[in-house]
Structure formats: structure tokens, C-alpha cells
Amino acid sequence: MNLMDYLMEKFPTLELIPSIYNQWGIGPHFILGGNIYQLKENVKLNEDRFRLVYKQVSTIFNELFEPNDDIFLVTNLSTKVKSNVQEN
């Protein structure tokens, strides 16, 4: 069974659109990184935050899934759309 057939069978009302998370009445939501901002004052990445988030996500993932589980990862890539409208 391919991915689209599987999704139609198991999740017939699901639309792969931004904010897919909000389409269901229940779902996990985690706030990651605590109160550590992603950038430092010099506008460089705050590596402490990203290390913490990586550790948190790894722990959550390992608690939710067993080594032999089948999982599908669905990503949503949002890009800024350039406008063709010219300003006067």
C-alpha cells in the first residue's frame, strides 16, 4: 500500500495543509526549549536551546515509539510567496 492509499484509508478527512495539527480534536503538543530564546543578542544561534530541544525531542520520540514500529513522517514546507504586484 502506498502512502496516499494508507492516508485515505486510515484518515479519510485529513487534508495535508498548513496547521494539520488543528484538524483533530486531540493530539500531543509540546513546548520545547523552555524559556531559552533561539538567538543570542548578537543574532547568532543559541546552541544551548537547540541542544536542549534535540534532547527533548529524542526523549519524546523514544518514549512514543518502539524499535519495530512503522511510522510515517509528514512534513509541511511553507515558503514565502513573492507577489507579482508592482508598487507605484
Assigned domain for 45 exists: yes
Q: What is the mean pLDDT of the chain?
A: 81
pLDDT at position 65: 92
The structural domain count of the chain equals 1
More confident residue, 77 or 72: 72
Q: What is the pTM of this model?
A: 0.57
Least confident of 2-11, 16-25, 50-59: 16-25
pLDDT at position 59: 95
**For residue 45, what are the domain limits?**
29-66
CA distances from residue 9 to 4, 28, 68, 71, 83 in whole angstroms, order as listed = 9, 22, 22, 16, 38
With H, G, I as helix, E, B as strand and everything else as coil, classify residue 39.
strand
Assigned domain for 1 exists: no
pLDDT of 21 strictly over 60: yes
Assigned domain for 35 exists: yes
